[in-house]
Amino acid sequence: MKHLRIIASTLLLVVMTAAIAAACDCDEPVVVDGLEAYTRSLRDGRDAVEGFWGIYLEWQPEKGAARSFRLAIVKNDYDVYPGADYIGVATCDKPGCVRGEVKLLLTATDAPDRFEATLLVTDTDGAKGTAYLKLHEETGRENSLLDLSDLKYQDKEMSKGMLRIING
């Protein structure tokens, strides 16, 4: 009799878990091969914005705290996010992202150092604005800063920018 109660309780738990998951209308994060994106971000002949970058988010609403993580920016030939020319793929597992999760969308403009950008704050929404590829004043390296200070989410600034980690 005790075994029947355990089986019934387990079945009830499985049914409740499935019902809760079905009721959730949230989208799953888009995930691609993070290791491949990292390798591609460092290949010879890449575009100026492609590379391995570090970002520090000063405000991340779904987590309630600042976060830092690393992104590999590569051409968007993964069949995700139509219209985005480049995607930023997380290369680390940290609170707020998982390896392979797409966290940044960049669309080229008429200027080679300017991109329409969306930093994905949640799975379905993001900070939007213009990103600028710049010289980092401290290092003096060209194209070593991706300025994101124009991006806003619910009228809040998300990040000052991203720094190129490997400038090879």
In tens digits, the chain (168 residues) has pLDDT values of 554 444 444 333 333 333 323 333 346 779 999 999 999 999 999 999 999 999 877 655 555 555 678 999 999 999 899 999 999 999 988 776 789 999 999 999 999 999 999 988 766 678 899 999 998 887 788 899 999 988 887 776 666 788 999 765
In a domain, 10, yes or no: no
Q: Give me the domain span that covers residue 152.
A: 34-164
In a domain, 2, yes or no: no
In a domain, 17, yes or no: no
Alpha-carbon distances, residue 49 vs 20, 42, 96, 117, 163 (angstroms): 41, 11, 23, 12, 11
What is the C-alpha to C-alpha distance for residues 153 and 93, in angstroms, rounded to an integer?
A: 23
Could you give the count of Cα atoms lying within 13 Å of 47 in the half-sphere of its Cβ?
17
pLDDT score of 25: 35
What is the C-alpha to C-alpha distance for residues 113 and 12, in angstroms, rounded to an integer?
A: 56
In a domain, 14, yes or no: no
In a domain, 74, yes or no: yes
Q: Are 159 and 68 in contact (CB under 8 A)?
A: no
Q: What is the pTM of this model?
A: 0.77
In a domain, 149, yes or no: yes
In a domain, 11, yes or no: no
What number of residues does the chain have?
168
pLDDT score of 160: 78
Three-state secondary structure call for residue 86: strand
In a domain, 42, yes or no: yes
Residues sharing a CB contact under 8 Å with residue 94, sequence separation 6 or more, in sequence order: 67, 68, 69
What is the number of domains present in the chain?
A: 1
